[in-house]
Amino acid sequence: MKNQNTNNNPKSNSLLGLGLLTAITASLCCITPVLALLAGTSGFASTFSWMEPFRPYLIGITILVLGFAWFQQLKPKKDIDCVCETDDLPDRKAGKPTFFHSILFLGIVTIFAIAMTVFPYYSSIFYPDNKKEVIVKNNIDIQKISIAIKGMTCTSCEEHVNHTVNELDGILDVKTSYNDKNSSIEFDKSKTTVEEIEKAINSTGYNVIETKLIK
């Protein structure tokens, strides 16, 4: 008798597993700061920052793997002669693919992979606004500094630094840029110090390189 070839192949699951792995790994350097925030242990936020240079390649592998998986899923199926009995395989009767080989499962995997790949662009939603209202008694106490920071790789890193610095008293404004590799901070020096700000940034796992006073 004839039976339809339905791609019930363990190799297809291996491909999907590879696609998920590369998608997660591609954004691991940006996922880690969020996990650090949720765990209340900010020190390991920069653990995977070294992976940032590989991010484009990992995204490329993810696209290729998922693209091939969709090609395999959507290409016309061929009827082949089969003399094997399928009565003992109820989930494959009449050529019906299992859930893990279905278009629905592939769609779920694809959506999850996309969500992981673009994670850096929406990671800021995980950081609550902790900016406090600061009453400055004397404008002379207002000081602005620019701190060069090593280890930031994405917007998630920016948000992590901003959130940590805003936990200090007397912070008026903090703007961090991973592209410029620095943070511009305005604060009331009667309530906090440059040393405390540097210590807070270093506690995230990113490293303060240099601090400059802005006049």
Per-residue pLDDT reduced to its tens digit, 12-59: 677 778 888 888 887 777 787 777 776 666 666 667 777 777 888 888
Output 181 or 102, whichever has higher pLDDT. 181
DSSP β-bridge partners for residue 186? 144, 173
Residues 153 and 205 in one domain: yes
Domain end marker among 91, 124, 157: 124
Residues 114 and 194 in one domain: no
Residues 176 and 119 in one domain: no
Residues 86 and 17 in one domain: yes
Give Cα separations from 55 to 38, 59, 106 (angstroms): 24, 6, 23
Check residue 99 and report its DSSP letter.
G
Q: What pLDDT is stored for residue 3 in this prediction? A: 47
Domain that holds residue 190: 127-214
Give residue 41's Cα distance to chain centre.
Answer: 17
Q: What pLDDT is stored for residue 146 in this prediction? A: 97
Within a 13 Å sphere around the CA of 127, how many CA atoms are in the beta-carbon half?
A: 28
CATH number at residue 135: 3.30.70.100
Domain end marker among 124, 155, 175: 124
Q: What pLDDT is stored for residue 44 in this prediction? A: 65
Question: Among 76-90, 137-151, 186-200, which is the least confidently predicted range?
Answer: 76-90
| DSSP states along 128-181 | ---PPP---S-GGGEEEEEEEEES--SHHHHHHHHHHHHTSTTEEEEEEETTTT
Residues 119 and 132 in one domain: no
* 1 band by pLDDT with thresholds 50, 70 and 90: very low
Q: Is the pLDDT of residue 153 over 80?
A: yes
User: What CA–CA distance (Å, rounded) separates 38 from 150?
Assistant: 22
Residues 42 and 136 in one domain: no
Q: What pLDDT is stored for residue 28 in this prediction? A: 77
Q: For a pLDDT cut of 90, what percent of the chain falls above it?
A: 27
Q: What is the pTM of this model?
A: 0.66
Residues 7 and 77 in one domain: yes
Segment 143-149 shows an average pLDDT of 96
Residues 102 and 133 in one domain: no
User: What domain count does the chain have?
Assistant: 2
Domain end marker among 92, 107, 124: 124
Residues 60 and 163 in one domain: no
Q: Which of 122, 143, 152 minimizes the C-alpha distance to 191?
A: 143
Segment 136-157 shows an average pLDDT of 89
Residues 131 and 111 in one domain: no
Residues 52 and 105 in one domain: yes
Residues 11 and 107 in one domain: yes
